[in-house]
Amino acid sequence: MGKRPSLSPTKRAQIVALQRTGLSQVAISHELGISRKAVQVALKKFEATGSYRDAARSGRPRKTSKKDDRVIRRLVFTRPTATTADVQRQLATAEIHIHRSTISRRLKAMNLKAFRPARKPLLTPAMRKRRLQFAKAHRHWTAQEWRKVLWSDECSLSQFGRYVQFVRRPSGYMYRYAEKYTQATMKHPPSIMVWACISASGRGGLEVIPRNSRMDSKMYMNILEKKLENFLVIHDCDTFMQDSAPCHVSKVTKAWFARKNIHTLDWPGNSPDLNPIENVWRKFKDLVAMRKPSSLVELEAAIKSVWTMEITPELCTACVESMPQRLQAVIDAKGGPTKY
């Protein structure tokens, strides 16, 4: 039988007050709906301490002091990738001996839980400077100016895409690895590369790159010859955005743009977070993966169908209209990575 909870200070005050009116312990127990023993114990404690509250319990001594907690916090802030074992070893060099589980509890209490880090492109100081310059140069562009930009990029879509299919199963090791509850993967799944463009008006052209082909300047210019000029007109755009991939910025490609009199944005390297089409790619890949193509033929069919039927103008517009926020995020991060 478990221990009954202690009476509250208010209840104890009522017991003392009723006793002072002349009521007996039995009468008080009936009045308050508690046992006579509880009344007796409450009165004895009040006589001994003069307080309605429980005496402070000593409890188990705390393993760390406030100073130790500050040291733990400083170690983790200085080195975010440090494990509890790393922190334990560093504390031991300062003659502070604490178990890893205690360190883990302290970190949780400080709201310093372990998370999987966001994956972002590596940015050199020169890249950060270029990103910051680009953001500051374009932060005052109006929505109408951004509507005049045609955004482009390439991406690769796998036959076994990134779509996560949840399963409902009983808990336990034997069920987790039962075949009916697992999702098949392939080490090097067949994939297809595509080039596409969008604007604030909606999706533009999509070109499937032939398998086993390399995207070089010649192939890139062939795609541009087939798609770019038409979609600049269709979307009423006068500026073209491409990243700084080698085939995009080669001498022959630059000469082609100059010959065609097509203005391109001076794009900073390693900046997918500034390109609205990256968010379209994310949605696009999920939708293609949901089709569960079983062959490259089905994958290509799914790619074309999803692009023409499910990539909506509203999605493209929302992504392009986020440009002011993207630029401000780069400025706030001093050219560093952002949430986009």
Residue 55 lies in a domain: no
pLDDT value for 57: 72
**Is 326 in the same domain as 297?**
yes
Judged against a pLDDT cut of 60, whether residue 2 lies above it is answered with no
Share of the chain above pLDDT 90, in %: 65
Domain boundary among 58, 74, 109: 109
The total domain count for the chain is: 3
The model's pTM:
0.72
**Is 98 in the same domain as 135?**
no
Q: How far is CA 49 from the centre of its chain?
A: 55
Residue 31 lies in a domain: yes
Rounded Cα–Cα distance for residues 63 and 69 (Å) = 10
Q: Are 66 and 110 in contact (CB under 8 A)?
A: no
| Phi, psi angle pair for 185, to nearest 5° | -130, 165
Task: Tell me if residue 82 falls in helix, strand or coil.
Answer: coil
Residue 340 lies in a domain: no
**Is 81 in the same domain as 13?**
no
Judged against a pLDDT cut of 70, whether residue 113 lies above it is answered with yes
What length is written for the chain? 340
**Is 81 in the same domain as 170?**
no
pLDDT per position as a tens digit, 154-174 = 999 988 766 556 778 888 877
Residue 244 lies in a domain: yes
Burial of 121 (0-12, 13-18, 19+ CB in 10 A): exposed
**Is 313 in the same domain as 224?**
yes
pLDDT value for 58: 73
Residue 337 lies in a domain: no
Rounded Cα–Cα distance for residues 266 and 256 (Å) = 16
- Binning pLDDT at 50, 70 and 90, where does residue 176 land? confident
Residue 30 lies in a domain: yes
First to last CA, the chain: 57
**Is 92 in the same domain as 227?**
no
**Is 254 in the same domain as 136?**
yes
- The count of other CB atoms within 10 Å of the CB of residue 148 is 17
**Is 43 in the same domain as 91?**
no
Closest CA to 139 of 340, 339, 8, 332: 332
Residue 165 lies in a domain: yes
Judged against a pLDDT cut of 50, whether residue 177 lies above it is answered with yes
pLDDT per position as a tens digit, 70-79 = 999 999 999 9
pLDDT value for 163: 56
| Phi, psi angle pair for 83, to nearest 5° | -85, 170
Judged against a pLDDT cut of 90, whether residue 1 lies above it is answered with no
Strand runs labelled E in 239-338: 239-241, 263-264
Pull the structure tokens for residue 158. 């796998």
pLDDT per position as a tens digit, 321-334 = 999 999 999 999 99
**Is 89 in the same domain as 176?**
no
Summarize the confidence of residues 26-38 as an average pLDDT: 90
CATH number of the structural domain spanning residue 136: 3.30.420.10
**Is 105 in the same domain as 129?**
no
Judged against a pLDDT cut of 60, whether residue 153 lies above it is answered with yes
pLDDT value for 323: 96
**Is 265 in the same domain as 301?**
yes
> 326: part of which helix (H) or strand (E)?
helix 323-332
Query: Whole domain around residue 36: which residue ranges?
Result: 9-49
**Is 24 in the same domain as 140?**
no
pLDDT per position as a tens digit, 284-299 = 999 998 888 888 999 9
Residue 117 lies in a domain: no
